[in-house]
Structure 1
Amino acid sequence: MTHATIVSQSNNVRLGIGLMILTTLVFALQDGISRHLAGEYNVYMVVMIRYWFFAAFVIAIARRKAGGIRAAARTRQPALQILRGLLLVTEICVMVVGFTVLGLVESHAVFTCYPLLVAALSGPILGERVGWRRWAAIGVGFIGVLIILQPGMAVFDPAAIIPLIAAVMFAVYGLLTRYAARRDSTATSFFWTGTTGAIAVTCVGVWFWEPMIARDWAWMATLCVTGALGHWLLIRCYEVAEASAVQPFAYLQLVFASLLGIAVFGEVVRVNVATGAALIVAAGLFTLWRERQKG
């Protein structure tokens, strides 16, 4: 779920789309494994071990680049970079809790609204202009969220707010990443994301350590590998193609995660969830199209 963008060296759209589809599949598998492990062990411990591997991956990437770790860590806005790292690791913890409480289908259905939140918050946070068409799309998307949450209904589950909180946090993280990019390179932001998050979650997670059986250590190793692989694929995707061309395919993570939730965890897609998710995706695709037209 963390997302670094590298300046495009080419624009091979077909390869970029293939990489984005593979990325969403890997991240969906990661979410499924997280759901399993967090259902058996403490969420903080699971995220902590995952972040140890992520931090090692980030440091390895930094060492291979010109200037090494020192160059990657150099920033003129450390407070902002620390805030980004803390925000992302907290968002991941919240989302994993959502997986265990609501399941993959409903969590992802609500979380899918985060691009609309980015569009809505880009005005007050970044000073970008949001036209009436995008505001209309944002409104449609939030109608979709309300259809999923069903506020005021007797069956309303307050826990459904959990992935919405995660979506807000991830949207703010994305905007802060865009803001940080005005003065720092992608490599720098990526380095601070991994290391800051690892340090922060370790300070909490070590107090919740639990013994893990051998089979689940194998799942944990797979979780770590899928996390690193997903980030690498996403970076590679943005290297070979423009973000506007491949971003619509990121919605496939909702499809893959839902299929996993149904096939492996026995989850059910309710009519209101499917309807709301369809509205959110349609509004998000329209918003991406408008941004591309503007560009």
Structure 2
Amino acid sequence: MKASGILYAFGAVTIFSIQDAISRHLGPLYSPFFISMIRYWAFGLFAFYIVSRSKIGILGAIRTEHLGLQIWRSLLLVAQILISILSFAYVGLAKSQAVFAAAPLVVALLSVPLLGEKVGWRRWLAIAVGLCGVLVIINPLGADFTSTTLIAVVCCITFSLYSIYTRMAGRYDSAEVSFFYTGLVGLIVTSIIGPFFWESVRPIDWFWLIALCFTGISSHYLMIKALALTEAVTVQTVTYLQLVYASIYGVLIFSEKLTVHMMAGSVIVVIAGGFTIWREHQVKRRERLAAG
């Protein structure tokens, strides 16, 4: 079961990376609102399909203990997707993913004030080291630094907030309810805003837009399967593979450059983030055992 879960996680991360590469290609050509709308049309229908086949069904998924919280976290994901498209286009695929790798560190940091969780000195140290790694990646004192690099930082923070509020929603609603609202709210919001940014699309780019939809659906499906078969800590660790994929695609397809600062900072961030994920898993495991 666990081996199958890891294979599903590898598959999901691989397809997620292809999805990011497609976004990197489309980002400079079309509005992120337009791209996100097309993407959510497919993802929204997928969310409806998955929930309709679950035990609770569509009617059960509509019932939520905290409607405002579900809408807020879903809006955060919409914002994160919009910003990520901009980040891939203006910061670059490899550099963006290097900064995004700090998300587990930001989640651990924000979980203290927002979720009331306790973080021990080991994780505090890992967070501090990891955030220093982000500074190494950005290299704010370097000659190649531009303010657009901060788009990736904003995206990382937005995704971390989405993760925090999704965890908070999990205290009240099932995963199916949260998944349903993620698709529903995103579909509604992007369908309201997106038409104002409708653009004439080249025939070849319709192929890429459709591919973006299929990669989004398949990657989420594989991730759901992975989380059902293995522990979240294992899946989270596998997601760091996205950084490797992004570096390969960035260099070979988009002619991006990997600087020493990016590579050194990425190593620091991944090690610190990996330790944070592992340590959080160990702490929660001890708490479950103590509770019997």
TM-score range with shorter-chain normalisation? over 0.9
Equivalent residue, structure 2, for 1:272: 261
Structure-1 residue corresponding to 2:23:
34
- The corresponding residue for 1:9 is none
Equivalent residue, structure 1, for 2:124: 135
1:265 partner SS: coil
Task: Give the aligned residue type for 1:191.
Answer: F
What residue identity is the alignment partner of 1:15? Answer: S
Identify which of 149, 155, 158 aligns with 1:169. 158
What is the CA–CA distance in structure 1 between the aligned matches of 2:251 and 2:62, rounded to whole Å? 42
Matched, 1:224 2:213: yes
Partner of 1:64: 53
1:20-47: CA deviation from partner (whole Å, max 9, x where unpaired): 1111110000001011112211111011
Q: For the aligned residues, what is the CA RMSD?
A: 1.1
State yes or no: 1:23 paired with 2:25. Answer: no
- The residue type paired with residue 193 of structure 2 is V
- Distance (Å, rounded) in 2 between the aligned partners of 1:214 and 1:84: 35
Deviation at 1:96, TM superposition (A): 0.7
Give distance in 2, aligned partners of 1:218 and 1:249.
29
Q: Does 1:89 align with 2:86?
A: no
**TM-superposed deviation, 1:155:** 2.9
Deviation track 1:174-233 (CA, whole Å, cap 9, x = no partner) reads: 011111011100000000011101111222211010011221111111100000111101
Contact 1:102 1:159 in 2 (8 A): yes
> 1:274 Cα deviation (Å)?
0.5
SS of alignment partner, residue 240 of structure 2: helix
Instruction: State the partner residue of 1:74.
Output: 63
1:100 corresponds to 2:93:
no
Match of 1:4 in 2: none
Other-structure match for 1:157 = 146
Moved more, 224-233 or 154-163: 154-163
Q: Percent identity?
A: 43
Q: 5+ residue gaps in structure 1?
A: 1-11
C-alpha distance in structure 2 between counterparts of 1:78 and 1:237, whole Å: 28
Task: Please list the CA deviations of residues 229-277 of structure 1 after superposition, one character each: whole Å capped at 9, or x if unmatched.
Answer: 1110110001011112332111001111211111111111111000001
Q: CA deviation at 1:126?
A: 0.6
1:143-222 alignment, distance < 5 Å: 143-222=132-211
1:152 Cα shift?
A: 3.1
Deviations 1:58-107 (A, max 9, x none): 01112222342111111020000000111101011001100000110011
Question: Hey, what does 2:34 align to over in structure 1?
Answer: 45
- Which of residues 234, 244, 247 is equivalent to 1:255? 244
Instruction: For residue 145 of structure 2, give the secondary structure of its aligned residue in structure 1.
Output: coil
**Which residue is 1:8 aligned to?**
none
**How many angstroms does 1:293 deviate by?**
2.1
Give the counterpart letter for 2:8 in structure 1. Answer: L
Report the counterpart of residue 231 of structure 2 in structure 1.
242
The number of aligned residues is 284
Larger mean Cα displacement after TM superposition, 42-51 or 147-156: 147-156
Separation in 1 of the partners of 2:12 and 2:124? 29
For 1:284, give the aligned amino acid: G
TM-score by length of 2: 0.95
In 2, Cα distance between the equivalents of 1:67 and 1:182? 17
- Residue by residue over 1:103-130, the C-alpha shift from the partner in whole angstroms, topping out at 9 and shown as x without a partner, is 1001111111000001111111111100
- Please say if residues 24 and 256 of structure 1, whose CA atoms lie closer than 8 Å, have aligned partners that are also in contact: no
Unaligned runs of 5+ in 2: 286-292
Within the alignment, does 1:113 sit opposite 2:102 as a pair? yes
Alpha-carbon distance in structure 2 between the residues aligned to 1:245 and 1:150: 31
